[in-house]
Chain A
Amino acid sequence: MTALALAVRGLHHPAGARPLVLPALDLAPGARLVVRGPSGSGKTTLLRLIAGELSPAAGELRVGGAPWSALPADARRAGRFGTIGVIPQELTLIDWLDAWDNLCLGWALGARPQSAGMEARAAALVAALGLPPLRGRAPRTLSMGERQRLVVARALLPGPGLVVADEPTSALDPAGADAVDAALRASGATAVVATHDPRLAGDDTLTLPVGP
């Protein structure tokens, strides 16, 4: 039996005006869960818990069938690269790296050795997302749309099995949004996407807050 890509049980964590409560959630590999809800409903908190950036106050998360939330924070950080791709809402880029090295961030900082396969995948993502040539390009010269597509590519480049995305098309026009949608699907990763964009349809929808 194939392990669930993501399994959540009895999740409880402070978030905004009311705590985030999620009794159970199962995602099969390759599925896309769209998370909707008003501001302050805990969407970003849920994504950060799934990414392992936060430890839940109560409950358990398992990724790929293995304990995830129970791991120490350092282990979750170390295990995140190549396992969970994170597309945050903040479009922060590293200003002392050019746009290409921002895309290949883990390799640029020595977390992984450079390889021809990585370069080819990066080039394919640049083309798929309609990005301009990135080598030698200063991040501050990119438009907001380009920055957002670069952030998406950065998350997908390591080939993660699970992707958490927080409003990944907020700065994109319809063509850009379609490109992001297509790239997410083409990656084959299980996706948890918090979005108000109706074009990002999922296999399932979770509306927060859960419960009365």
Chain B
Amino acid sequence: MIPLRRALDRLRARPGAQAARVLAWGLGLGLPAMVVGAVAAGGDLLRARAAAVPMVLGPPGDHTDLALAALRFDGRIHGSLPAARATLGPRAEALPLRLGHRVGSTPVVGVDPGLLRVRGLRVADGRPFVALGEAVAGARAAARAGLRPGAQVQPAPPLHHDLAGATPLVLSVVGVLAPSGGPEDDALLTDLATTWALDGHLHGHASADGQSGAAAAAELAPGTFLLEEARPEDLSQFHAHGDPAGLPVSLILVHPRDARAHDQLWAELSLDPSVSVVRPAQAIEELLALAADLRDLALLLLLPGTVGAVALLALVERLAAEADRAEDAVFATQGLPAGAVRAIRRAERLLVATAALAVAAALAATGPLLLVPWALHR
């Protein structure tokens, strides 16, 4: 016990210097482990997300953007498809999505309600959305914003502007989903019609005296105004001007019924110049392979930095050793056994190594969590 007790005394006597040693070693080991571990774990989970989506249909454009948009509900793909393209017949279940709206940093995604059944999404609190103006929050989105059934949110004005005028609709959160591991965790899901209302393709009217419901006119007239909240009694007033089949969707998740239907659809859609079709699993594998090559290149380029970090570590240890030299002279002069001193130094190194490994392990384990807020709020 004496070596351990005296080793602790040594650590307590020089807290700054010892902390520097622990941090130097901990960061030196932990940072690479954090990055490599996060990328590896992220790659595995990205593969799992991609495996859950057999095919994605989107407007002509970059295949990687399309795959990432489907896996992340990223609203930055350009263009759209008409809703009618989500009719692929009995060979597949086609689930259109409308992206591009946000509440703060949380994407508001217009989905087909069939998405919940296909992806096995479960409502943990409240109920699913059943009408225009209702939304369910993903588990992480709800935790971040403190959303529960009964809450109301108002999406920001859309990035793309509609000539008819976007409706600043207030949405009612009616449920919170259980964690799924998919992009739904970080989103607000609502019916496609709601996002079309947010776009301005759908709207409802009321008279200037606040009367709405069956008495409302179908066309704008003096004294009528656009409804900003889809109350149950107002739902019947929401309508589109034009063919609903032409309303825009950002992309379509395609779930073929069987392998034969998958091959047929892939062949047909690949030849259709009016769409882009991608198999997310394939796109992600290509991207991860490229990322691995870039990672190796980055590690090579970081080698001088690594050498510098090692040199810094060596300097830290040397400074610690020099502080010990004066003590060693005293121990030798006083005739104290070298073994006793070595035991104390060994115990100290063990404690420093343990603390450094704990720091490294904490970085490796929590690194991905530290990167999440930045990654999700871009």
A residues with a Cβ closer than 8 A to B are 51, 53, 74, 77-84, 86, 88, 90, 92-97, 105-106, 108-111, 154-155
Contacts and interface: CB of A to CB of B under 8 A. Distances in A.
B357 interface: no
In order of increasing CB-CB distance, the 8 nearest A-B pairs are A80-B335, A81-B335, A96-B13, A110-B2, A96-B10, A96-B9, A86-B333, A109-B340
Interface residues of B, number: 23
B337 A78 contact: yes
A96 B333 contact: no
B52 interface: no
> Which among B12, B14, B332, B340 has the greatest number of chain A C-beta atoms within 10 A?
B332
B335 A109 contact: no
Contacts of A109: 2, 6, 331, 336, 340-341, 344
Contact of A92 (B6, B12, B326): B326
B14 A96 contact: yes
B327 A92 contact: yes
B225 to A, nearest CB: 78
Contacts of B2: 109-110
Contact of B330 (A79, A81, A82, A92): A92
A86 B334 contact: yes
> Which among B2, B3, B330 has the greatest number of chain A C-beta atoms within 10 A?
B330
B327 A51 contact: no
27 contacts: A51-B333, A53-B333, A77-B332, A77-B337, A79-B335, A80-B333, A80-B334, A81-B334, A81-B335, A83-B335, A86-B335, A88-B330, A90-B326, A92-B330, A93-B330, A95-B14, A97-B6, A97-B9, A105-B330, A105-B336, A106-B334, A109-B6, A109-B340, A109-B341, A110-B3, A111-B336, A155-B334
A77 B13 contact: no
Contact of A88 (B3, B6, B333): B333
B298 interface: no
Interface string B6-20: 100110111000000
Contacts of A92: 326-327, 329-330
Contact of A77 (B6, B14, B335): B335
Contacts, number: 67
A116 B228 CA distance: 88
Nearest to B330: A92
Contacts of A80: 333-335
Contacts of A51: 333
A80 B10 CA distance: 25
B50 to A, nearest CB: 56
A159 B340 CA distance: 21
Nearest to B6: A109
Contact of A154 (B3, B334, B338, B341): B334
Contact of B340 (A79, A82, A95, A111): A111
Nearest to A106: B336
B336 to A, nearest CB: 5
Contacts of A77: 332, 335, 337-338
B331 to A, nearest CB: 8
Contacts of A74: 338
B332 A111 contact: no
B332 to A, nearest CB: 6
Interface in B111-151: none
A159 B9 CA distance: 27
Nearest to B334: A105
Given A90-B329, A106-B335, 17 more contacts: A51-B333, A77-B337, A77-B338, A80-B335, A84-B335, A86-B333, A88-B333, A90-B326, A96-B9, A96-B12, A96-B14, A97-B6, A105-B336, A109-B331, A109-B340, A110-B3, A111-B340
A27 to B, nearest CB: 20
> Which among A53, A74, A83, A110 has the greatest number of chain B C-beta atoms within 10 A?
A110
Contacts of A53: 332-333
A74 B336 CA distance: 11
A96 B6 contact: yes
Contact of A82 (B331, B332, B335): B335
Interface in B332-360: 332-338, 340-341, 344
Nearest to A93: B330
Contacts of A97: 6, 9
Interface in B1-37: 2-3, 6, 9-10, 12-14
